[in-house]
Amino acid sequence: MSEQPMIKARNLWKHYGDNTVLERINVQVHAGEFITMVGASGCGKSTFLKMLLGMESPTYGELLLDDKPIPDEPDQSRGIVFQQYSVFPHLTVLKNVIIAREFEHSPLLGKLFGSARRQVHEEATELLETVGLADAANKYPHELSGGMRQRLAIAQALIRRPRILLLDEPFGALDPGIRNDMHILIRQLWRKHQLTVFMVTHDIKEGFSLGTRLWVFDKLRRDNQAPEAYGASITYDIPVGRADPEELEKLTGLHDPSPVLLRQASDS
């Protein structure tokens, strides 16, 4: 881990019109951290990811990447996997991965031919092997199961070698067994590709076991007459390598967290 933090949020606020979504976010993230984010539905986790991605910009405050404002457009330095719609339905598995390299090397047609194509083929096939999709290379996304589709989305997100990988409830729709496989996969890839990972999840167990650091998003101030007046911030920032699950259950139980969070905490 380098000395300088890679990402810094300084007094970050986000409003949508009168709706305050996020307020007073102050965090620093070093390269190589794996951050999991939990919080009630609608509290702004996806919004935070969107700001990291450059789809949304902060209303106040700064969000810095390497001490420069984060680029205000998505680019290949930050990969993303959404819960769904992440892959291209008109391309086969292999072509879904290759397309990233084609964008890179063929500005006009977005397509590669001949030896350049073969080379990219090899690279993509290798990547598909690491996510366990080599056998499905010529299938279309609609022929894949939910878990396979997310593996594809991950492979696709990794081929351009991004430094940062953003995951928005990537395994939300998967059943527990497959989810476990995906956890192992994502940890492998995180190490192998030296990624900095931000992952939103609704599964608090996942939040614990997976990353190095857990953020809980919640509103510190609350006005029941005007629920939109105050935004959420990061109320707990826990190095989960060390935390013990019961400790967190107590912590999250203290501050009237969301019903969702409570339920999930007691489930686990």
Partner 1 sequence: MKRLINLTPSRPVQVLLGLLPFALLIVIYMVASDARLEINPDDKLLPSFSQMGAALERLALEPSRRTGEYVFWQDTLSSLKRLGMGIAIAASIGFTIGLLTGALPSAHAPLAPLLTTISLVPPLALLPILFIVFGLGELSKVALIAIGVAPFIARDIQRCTLEIPREQLIKAQTLGASSWQIIVRVLIPQLLPRLINAVRLSLGAGWLFLIASEAIASTDGLGYRIFLVRRYMSMDVILPYVAWITFLAFTLDWLLAQLSRCCFTWHHQGGA
Ligand X SMILES: Nc1ncnc2c1ncn2[C@@H]1O[C@H](COP(=O)(O)OP(=O)(O)OP(=O)(O)O)[C@@H](O)[C@H]1O
Residues near 95 by beta carbon (within 8 Å), at least 6 away in sequence:
88
* Residue 109 interacts with partner 1 (CB under 8 A): yes or no: yes
For residue 247, count CB atoms less than 10 angstroms from its CB and return exposed for 0-12, middle for 13-18, buried for 19 or more.
exposed
Encoded tokens for 211: 């990353």
Residue placing its CB nearer to ligand X in the complex, 43 or 166: 43
What distance in Å separates the CA atoms of residue 180 and residue 177, rounded to the nearest whole number? 5
Is residue 196 a contact residue for partner 1 (CB under 8 A)?
no
Residue 20 found at the interface with ligand X (CB under 6 A): no
229 backbone dihedrals φ, ψ, rounded to 5°: -70, -35
Quote the CA–CA distance of 8 and 24 in Å, as a whole number. 13
**How many Å apart are CA 148 and CA 128, to the nearest integer?**
11
With binding defined as CB under 6 A, does residue 219 bind ligand X? no
User: Does the protein bind Mg ion through residue 47 (CB under 5 A)?
Assistant: no
Site string for ligand X, 44-73 (x = CB under 6 A): xxxx--------------------------
Candidates 10, 15, 117, 160; binder of partner 1 (CB under 8 A) is 160
Answer for which of 16, 60, 103, 113 binds ligand X (CB under 6 A) is 16
Site residues for Mg ion, 130-189, by CB under 5 A, read: none
46 binds Mg ion (CB under 5 A): yes
Give the CA count within 13 Å in the CB-facing half-sphere of 32.
7
Touching partner 1, residues 35-64 (CB under 8 A): 53, 55
Residue 41 binding ligand X, by CB under 6 A: yes
Residues that bind ligand X (CB under 6 A): 16, 19, 21, 39, 41-47
